[in-house]
Structure 1
Amino acid sequence: MAPGVPTYPVGGLGRAVAAAVAATAVLYTLVAFYPAVGAVLARRAAEAQDTDVLLGAVLLEVLFILPFGATYLTAAVLMIIWTWRARKNLDAFPGALPQFSPGWAIAGWLVPLANVVVPVRVVAGIARDSLWRARTSVLVGVWWAAWLVFSLGERFASRTDNRAYERLPEDPFNDIGFQAYVGYYQDALVRNLVPLAACLTAAAALIVLVRRITAAQQARIALAVPAGPAPYGWPGAPVPYGRPAVTDPSPQVAGGAGTVSPPDAAAAGGTIGA
Structure 2
Amino acid sequence: MPTYGVRGLAVACALAVGAATLAYLLTALFPLVGARMARSAAEQLDRDVLLGAVLAEVLFSLPYFLALLTAGTLVVIWTWRARKNLDAFPGATPNLGPAWAIAGWLVPLVNLVVPARVLADLLRNSVWQRRQAWLVGVWWASWLVFLIGDRFVARAEQQRYDRLTELPRNDAEFATYVRFYEDALAPRLVPAVACLVAGIAFVVLVRRISAAQQDRLSRAVPAWPVQAGWSGWPGQPGPPAPALPAMSAQIPPGPDGTIGA
User: What TM-score comes out, normalization by structure 2 length?
Assistant: 0.84
Could you tell me which of 146, 152, 162 is aligned with 1:150? 146
Partners in 2 of 1:31 and 1:10 — Cα distance? 31
Q: Which residue number in structure 2 is paired with residue 17 of structure 1?
A: 13
Letter in 2 for 1:223: R
Quote the residue 1:79 is aligned against: 75
How much has 1:132 moved relative to structure 2? 1.9
Unaligned runs of 5+ in 1: 227-233, 239-274
* Identical columns (%): 58
Which residue identity does 1:49 align to in structure 2? L
C-alpha displacement of 1:138 = 0.8
Matching of residues 64-213 of structure 1 within 5 Å: 64-134=60-130, 137-213=133-209
**Contact 1:124–1:136 (CA<8 Å) still a contact in 2?**
no
Query: How much is the aligned-residue C-alpha RMSD, in angstroms?
Result: 1.6
Moved over 3 A (4+): 133-136, 234-238
Shift of the alpha carbon at 1:161? 0.8
Q: Distance in 2 between matches of 1:166 and 1:122?
A: 41
Q: How many positions carry a matched residue from both structures?
A: 227
Q: How many Å apart are 1:225 and its aligned residue?
A: 4.8
TM-score (norm 1): 0.80
Shift of 1:171: 1.0
Check the 8 A contact 1:46/1:175 in 2, yes or no: yes
Paired position in structure 1 for 2:56:
60
Give structure 2 stretches of 5+ with no counterpart. 223-244, 250-261
Contact 1:108 1:114 in 2 (8 A): yes
One-letter code aligned to 2:216: R
Choose from 215, 228, 231 the match for 2:211.
Answer: 215
Amino acid at match of 2:212: A
- Pick the structure with greater CA Rg: 1
> For 1:199 and 1:61, how far apart are their aligned partners in 2?
19
Distance 1:54 1:184 in 2: 12
CA distance in 2, matches of 1:119, 1:235: 33
Equivalent residue, structure 1, for 2:236? none
Cα shift at 1:57:
0.5
- Aligned 8 A contact 1:225 1:236 in 2: no
In the alignment, the residues of structure 2 paired with residue 97 and residue 21 of structure 1 have an alpha-carbon distance, to the nearest angstrom, of 28
- Look up the equivalent residue of 2:211 and give its one-letter code: A
